[in-house]
Structure 1
C-alpha cells in the first residue's frame, strides 16, 4: 500500500490539465502566456509545466496546443477556452466595428480568413480564393446561384476538412463563385449547423459537438 501511494503521488501531478490560458504578449517567435494565473514565456515548440505547448508565434497571433487541441489567440481575443480532458473544443469570436465576426480557418490544410454568415447556405469562396487554396473545380458540380447582382455561375463541392481553432470538420459543403464575389470568404451553415453557437456579452462562441 505504501508503494502504491508513492506511485500515485508521482502520477497525479503529471495528469493535471490547464484550465485557463490567456495571451499576454507577443515577442517575435515567443509568446507570454498566463496559464492558470501563472505567467510563462515560451518559445515556439516549447511546452509549459502545465502541459500547454506554444505551436507558433507571430507578430499577430499565437497558436497553442492544449490536450491535443489547438487554439489561435490574438491580442484582441487573448482568452482560450477553459479546457478539461472531456471538454469540447471552443472558439470565441469578437465582433468588429460593423458587428461582423471573422476568424482564421484552415481549408484542406491551407489558411484563409472567413466571415461568419448565418444567411449563407454553405461556405462560399470567390474564384481567386478557390484557386489559391488549390480547390479542384473539375469534379465540382456546376450550379446557378442568386446574388445581389442577379443569377451567377458557381460550383458546388465538398471540402475534405475545415478547421477553426480546435474545431475540425470533414466533408463540408462549399460553393465557389465564378467571379470575385464574395470579396470575403463566407462561413456559412454547412459548417455552422454542425457546431453549437452561443452569444455571451457580444462574443460569439462556437463549440464542437461530441
Structure 2
C-alpha cells in the first residue's frame, strides 16, 4: 500500500473515530443533563393529585395530564398516585412529601375584628372558590355544612362518621381530610375537617388549622403566621 493511500485511509479512520467519540460524548452529556425528576404526593382529590416536582411549589394534576415533558399522571387511588416516566411506571404515596416554603415568602395574614369582636376571613379549600370563615378557637376542626362541602366538591360521606355536641344537641358529622386550605399567603395541606348535615351558617376555621399557625392579638387585629 503506498503512502498516499495509507494517509487517506488514516485520515478517514481518524475522522470516523472523532465523530463517533463526539456523538458518544454528546449523548453522555444529554443523559446527565436530563436527570430524572423527583415526585412527592401532597394530596388527592376527585381523580386529581397534588404533586411536588423537584422541590417546586405544589401543583394539582388531573389523571391523564402531563407533569413534565417525559412524565404523565396515569392513575390515583385513596393513598397513592402512579406516574409514567419514559414508559416506566412509578408509584408515590401520601405522607412522604416534605414541603418547603418559598424563600423570602411572608406567610402571614392580618385579620381585622368585626364590630362584635369576631375575626372573619376569606379562604380557599382544595383550591376552589372563596369561602367565608369565622376564626373559632373553640372548634376542634375546620367545620362546614354539607351544602358547603358539596359546593366545594368534597365527597364527605366517604369520611369517618362521628358525632359532635352543638347548641342544638348531638348531631351527626363526617370527619374528612382536606387537601389544602389557603388564607392569604398561608397555605396548609392535609387539614382535618368536620362536615355537618345541618346548616352551620358559616364555615368555622377551627384548631385543626389554627394549631399549625401562630396567633398574635394586637388590639383589633389578629396576625396569623405559618409555623416553620
TM-score, normalised to structure 1, is: 0.58
| Counterpart residue number, 2:109 | 91
Alpha-carbon contact 2:127-2:180 (below 8 Å) kept: yes
Alpha-carbon contact 1:88-1:209 (below 8 Å) kept: no
Query: Within 2, Cα distance between the matches of 1:139 and 1:186?
Result: 21
Secondary structure in 1 matching 2:139: coil
Gaps of 5+ in 1: 1-67, 69-83
Query: Within 2, Cα distance between the matches of 1:165 and 1:150?
Result: 34
| Counterpart residue number, 2:189 | 170
Alpha-carbon contact 1:155-1:175 (below 8 Å) kept: yes
Query: Within 2, Cα distance between the matches of 1:199 and 1:144?
Result: 32
Alignment of 1:175-194 (within 5 A): 175-180=194-199, 182-194=200-212
Query: Within 1, Cα distance between the matches of 2:214 and 2:115?
Result: 24
* TM-fit CA distance, 1:87: 5.3
RMSD value, Cα = 1.6
Q: Does 1:156 align with 2:175?
A: yes
Query: Within 1, Cα distance between the matches of 2:106 and 2:213?
Result: 10
| Counterpart residue number, 1:144 | 163
Gaps of 5+ in 2: 1-56, 58-101
Secondary structure in 1 matching 2:195: strand
Moved over 4 A (4+): none
Alignment of 1:114-133 (within 5 A): 114-133=133-152
Alpha-carbon contact 2:157-2:174 (below 8 Å) kept: no
Change (3 A) 1:87 1:132: closer
Q: Say which of 117, 132, 137 aligns to 1:113.
A: 132
TM-score, normalised to structure 2, is: 0.53
Query: Within 1, Cα distance between the matches of 2:117 and 2:159?
Result: 33
| Counterpart residue number, 1:101 | 119
Alpha-carbon contact 2:162-2:175 (below 8 Å) kept: yes
* TM-fit CA distance, 1:202: 1.9
Query: Within 2, Cα distance between the matches of 1:115 and 1:137?
Result: 21
